[in-house]
């Protein structure tokens, strides 16, 4: 049932009510005239005529029930009543409106987060093969890993590759306007696991995560456009992050939006502040891609045997 149709029904109901009132009034007048002709006084005749036709309000309500859809009218009646109540109490009205706005906004934000994290498929090839790899200790059932743990899991059979991921803001200097940007520290396998390629230059190559390798950086699209005007000559340029020079080797696609957080610049994992290979320093989030035909249950069994 469309709103236009409902408006037409409402207009028709108003006209029908006017016709009904006219008809009732006509019948009462006719009956009153008959009773007066029979010798009754005018007041007594009018009272008897009204009694004969009964409760006129009830008659109108019955007519509505039979011939008219009342939902729209009742809705507007409720709205008018609510507006009158709120107008008499402006403080309460402002509080109610603010509360509703906050509740709606919070629900919208929660749904957006759940939709992005759980409902919407990941925008990567074969997302069903992507898994997080967690550690476990006596206190935490799910905990981050150490770089040494990562090396052990890279040798495990169920994975095509395992990559490290850490995040922290970094200082970008050596440009006209220094800035604080979001940095992601990853191992070279990270981009191949997600099936992401640079739109300019390349991503990290094997060996660039070694502590002695030349420091390379991959820029996010927003940083490239916002700070460097989309200049293709950015490749090979030296940028200073946290006081150390890095050579820009690539730029990522505009729509690259990995889970957890969106970074402005991607740096090798070994330059993460406080990086250590000590097994007790669990600070690495690990992401992996399962081999073809390997289920998560089977991968878990193999990891249990390794950690034991």
Give me the residues paired with residue 184 across strands.
167, 266
Shared domain check, 71 and 110: no
- Phi first, then psi, for residue 64 (nearest 5°) are -65, -45
Q: Where are the beta strands (DSSP E) in the chain?
A: 130-133, 159-173, 179-186, 200-201, 216-219, 238-241, 244-251, 265-268, 285-290
- 268: tokens are 């090798």
Shared domain check, 177 and 99: no
Residue 119 has what pLDDT?
A: 46
Shared domain check, 131 and 110: no
Shared domain check, 241 and 153: yes
Among candidate residues 262, 206, 271, 276, the one with its CA nearest the CA of residue 239: 271
Residue 243 has what pLDDT?
A: 92
Total domains, the chain: 3
Shared domain check, 136 and 281: yes
Count H helices, E strands: the chain? 9, 9
Shared domain check, 235 and 134: yes
Residue 73 has what pLDDT?
A: 66
Q: N- to C-terminal Cα distance for the chain? A: 65
CA–CA separation, 300 and 303 (whole Å): 5
Question: pLDDT truncated to tens, each residue of the chain (308 aa)?
Answer: 455 555 566 566 666 667 666 666 766 777 777 767 777 777 777 777 667 766 655 555 655 554 445 566 677 777 787 778 777 877 777 787 788 778 787 777 765 655 555 445 555 657 777 888 877 766 666 677 777 777 777 777 788 888 888 888 999 998 888 999 999 999 888 998 888 899 999 999 988 888 788 899 999 999 999 999 999 999 999 999 999 999 999 999 988 876 667 889 999 988 888 777 767 777 788 888 888 877 878 888 877 777 77
Among candidate residues 142, 137, 159, 140, the one with its CA nearest the CA of residue 150: 159
Structural domain for 116, as ranges = 95-120
Shared domain check, 182 and 145: yes
Is the whole-model pTM more than 0.75? no
Shared domain check, 67 and 14: yes
Residue 259 has what pLDDT?
A: 63
Shared domain check, 64 and 210: no
Shared domain check, 148 and 291: yes
CA–CA separation, 231 and 252 (whole Å): 14
CA–CA separation, 191 and 269 (whole Å): 13
CA–CA separation, 135 and 146 (whole Å): 9
Shared domain check, 194 and 106: no
Residue 294 has what pLDDT?
A: 78
CA–CA separation, 297 and 307 (whole Å): 15
- 281: tokens are 């320093």
Among candidate residues 204, 215, 270, the one with its CA nearest the CA of residue 245: 215
Residue 113 has what pLDDT?
A: 56
Residue 97 has what pLDDT?
A: 76
Shared domain check, 232 and 151: yes
Q: Are 252 and 220 in contact (CB under 8 A)?
A: yes
CA–CA separation, 221 and 236 (whole Å): 16
CA–CA separation, 161 and 163 (whole Å): 7
């Amino acid at each position: 049932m469309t709103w236009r149709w409902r408006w037409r029904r409402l207009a028709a109901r108003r006209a029908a009510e006017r016709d009904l009132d006219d008809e009732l009034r006509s019948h009462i007048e006719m009956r009153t005239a008959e009773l007066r002709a029979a010798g009754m006084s005018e007041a007594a005749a009018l009272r008897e005529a009204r009694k004969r036709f009964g409760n006129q309000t009830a008659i109108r309500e019955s007519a509505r029930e039979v011939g008219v859809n009342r939902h729209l009218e009742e809705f507007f009646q409720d709205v008018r009543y609510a507006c009158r109540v709120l107008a008499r109490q402006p403080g309460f009205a402002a509080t109610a409106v603010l509360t509703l706005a906050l509740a709606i906004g919070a629900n919208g934000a929660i749904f957006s987060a759940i939709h992005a994290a759980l409902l919407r498929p990941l925008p990567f090839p074969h997302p069903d093969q992507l898994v997080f790899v967690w550690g476990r200790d006596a206190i935490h059932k799910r905990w981050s890993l150490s770089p040494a743990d990562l090396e052990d899991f890279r040798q495990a059979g169920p994975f095509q590759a395992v990559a490290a991921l850490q995040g922290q803001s970094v200082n970008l200097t050596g440009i006209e306007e220094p800035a604080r940007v979001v940095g992601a520290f990853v191992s070279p396998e990270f981009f191949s696991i997600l099936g992401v390629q640079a739109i300019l230059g390349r991503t990290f190559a094997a060996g660039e995560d070694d502590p002695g390798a030349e420091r390379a950086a991959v820029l996010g699209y927003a940083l490239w456009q916002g700070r460097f005007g989309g200049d293709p000559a950015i490749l090979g340029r030296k940028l200073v992050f946290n006081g150390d020079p890095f050579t820009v080797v690539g730029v990522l696609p505009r729509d690259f939006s990995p889970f957890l957080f969106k970074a402005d610049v991607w740096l090798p994992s070994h330059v993460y502040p406080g990086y250590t290979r000590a097994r007790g320093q669990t600070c690495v989030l690990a992401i992996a891609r399962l081999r073809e035909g390997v289920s998560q249950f089977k991968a878990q069994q193999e990891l249990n045997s390794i950690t034991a």
